[in-house]
Amino acid sequence: MPWDLSDRAVAITGASSGIGEATALLCARSGASVALAARRGDRIDALAERIEAEGGRAIAVPTDVSDEGEARAFVQRAHDELGPLDALINNAGVMLLGPVEGADTAQWRQMIEVNVLGLLYCTHAALPLMREQGSGHIVNVSSVAGRRAASGAAVYNLTKFGVNGFSEGLRQEAARSGVRVTVIEPGFVETELQGHNAGNERVAAGIDKMKEQLGAVLQADDIAEAIVYALAQPPHVTVAEVLVLPATQRT
């Protein structure tokens, strides 16, 4: 067991696939109890069963994080059933790319509601619990797209730049109450995320081309390692920001 998260309770949003699923598995294998949130209840049920079959502890809570009530209920249930809640991993996200002009504005709302508001709702629910216990850790999964903007990604950039700014402001604010904040910025990771654009042939072709040019892209496990590294640090250490890129990714 490379990391020791024994006796920790960790809540993870977007745990039904990709980075969230890999993070849940690595947290559980490192000794943590995990609470899993996503809309696809069958996926998180199956993951919870898998974790329990391996000897871990997991609960699955079907949740749409863009619904404030559901987001808050997830965090509270994680705390009540597994807690005290040690960590919240705000990972749920969607990436819908394309030019600003002519965009389907429903896609903008979805990105802002999930990537930004969902993260804020879960954080708002977790903070008083963590302040009361004098410790806690909030990990926000942003992106390299939170540091560098690109044509065709402007609204996704807006959400992830927002996550980066919020994370740094919150890190400074929460430090007083013993709550640590980490922002994780992955580059290209092979997950279902790119498939969110399957309906837009031009965007999908651009993503395929980028992947081909990069060669070896990251796997979800690579990001799970970075998240668990941050969680496993001793209480006097905050890993504030981690940018993880495929070795070939320049922008």
Does 47 sit near ligand NDP (CB under 6 A)?
A: no
d(CA 93, CA 167): 16
CB 61 within 8 A of CB 11: no
Over the window 109 to 148, marking each residue x when it contacts ligand NDP by CB under 6 A and - when it does not, the resulting string is -----x---x----------------------x-x-----
Does 93 sit near ligand NDP (CB under 6 A)?
A: yes
- Choosing from 30, 33, 66, 197, the residue that interacts with ligand NDP (CB under 6 A) is 66
Of residues 9 and 44, the one with the C-beta less far from ligand NDP: 44
**Shortest distance, CB of residue 135 to ligand NDP, whole angstroms?**
25
- Total binding residues for ligand NDP by CB under 6 A? 32
* Helix 18-29 and helix 220-231, axial crossing angle in degrees, nearest 10: 50
- In degrees rounded to 5, what are phi and psi of residue 248? -95, -5
- Choosing from 5, 8, 14, 130, the residue that interacts with ligand NDP (CB under 6 A) is 14
From 156, 187, 193, 224, the catalytic residue: 156
Q: 219 - beta bridge partners?
A: 190
Of residues 14 and 133, the one with the C-beta less far from ligand NDP: 14
Strands (E), the chain: 9-13, 33-38, 57-62, 87-90, 136-141, 179-186, 189-190, 218-219, 241-244
Helix or strand holding residue 7 (H, E):
none
Does 19 sit near ligand NDP (CB under 6 A)?
A: yes
- Choosing from 107, 164, 191, 197, the residue that interacts with ligand NDP (CB under 6 A) is 191
Token pair in block for residue 201? 């042939």
Is residue 156 among the annotated active site residues?
Answer: yes
d(CA 44, CA 35): 9
- Choosing from 12, 16, 24, 32, the residue that interacts with ligand NDP (CB under 6 A) is 16
CA quadruple 117, 108, 10, 231: dihedral sign:
negative
What are the residues binding ligand NDP (CB under 6 A)?
13-20, 38-40, 43, 63-66, 91-95, 114, 118, 141, 143, 186, 188-189, 191-193, 220
Question: Which residues are the active-site residues?
Answer: 156
